[in-house]
A = this chain, B = another copy of it.
C-alpha cells in the first residue's frame, strides 16, 4: 500500500480550481470576447462540459474570475496592516504594494480593462465587491486622517482621489507598457525602468499629500 493518501480520481473541488485558474489566464490574455471556452477547458485539463456544469456559462465564469481577482487584491491590501506604521511610511508602503501587485498580477489589470470595455456589467451584479471596496476606501481615509493628526499630511485630500491616483500612476504605466515602449522609445519593462518608475510614483504621491517640510 502507498503511504501517500490515495489520489482521488474524481475531485470536484480540484477540477473547479483548475478551471478557474485556466479561465483567469485565458480571460486575461484575450479578454472576455476573445477568450475561448475550449482553450480554458484544455488548459484546465477538464472536459468543456465541466465548465458549463460548474459555472453555467462563459459570462458567469468571467464574473467569478473577476470577483476573485478583486477579493484577492483587497485582501492583500488589508494584510499590510498600515495602521501599525507611521502615516508617511504607511502611505509609501501602500504605493509600493500597489505597484508590486500590478507587476506580479498582470491578469488583474487585463481583467479590469475587459470589464470596463463591457461597462462593468458583471461587477454591477456582484455582491462581494461592495463590502471589500468600502473597507479599502475606509483604510486609506483613516490613513489620511492619521497623517493629518501626526502633522505630516496636509488637510483636505480626498481619499477617493488619492486612491485613484495611486492606482493610476502604476496601472497606466503597466497596462500601456507595449504602446508606451514604442511611443517613448524606451523599454518600459527593463528592471531599471521599473525601479525608476516606482521611485517616481512614490515621489509623486508624497509631494501630493505631505506638508512642506
Instruction: Tell me the nearest residue of chain B to A180, going by C-beta.
Output: B164
Instruction: Tell me the nearest residue of chain B to A170, going by C-beta.
Output: B168
Q: Mark A111-139, 1 if CB is under 8 A from B, else 0.
A: 01101110110011000010001101100
A161 at the B interface (CB under 8 A):
yes
Alpha-carbon distance between A178 and B196 when the two chains are bound, in angstroms: 31
A175 at the B interface (CB under 8 A):
yes
Count how many chain A residues have C-beta atoms less than 8 Å from C-beta atoms of the other chain.
51
Instruction: Specify how many copies of this chain sit in the oligomer.
Output: 2
Alpha-carbon distance between A184 and B132 when the two chains are bound, in angstroms: 11
Alpha-carbon distance between A204 and B161 when the two chains are bound, in angstroms: 10
A17 at the B interface (CB under 8 A):
no
The answer to whether A116 and B177 have CB atoms under 8 Å apart is yes
List residues of chain A with CB under 8 Å of any chain B CB.
Answer: 30-31, 33-34, 110, 112-113, 115-117, 119-120, 123-124, 129, 133-134, 136-137, 158, 160-161, 163-165, 167-169, 171-173, 175-186, 196-197, 200, 203-204, 207-208, 212
Given contacts A31-B31, A123-B179, A169-B169, 16 further A-B pairs with CB under 8 A are A115-B178, A116-B178, A116-B179, A119-B178, A120-B182, A123-B182, A129-B183, A137-B185, A158-B196, A160-B186, A161-B196, A168-B168, A168-B172, A169-B172, A171-B176, A172-B172
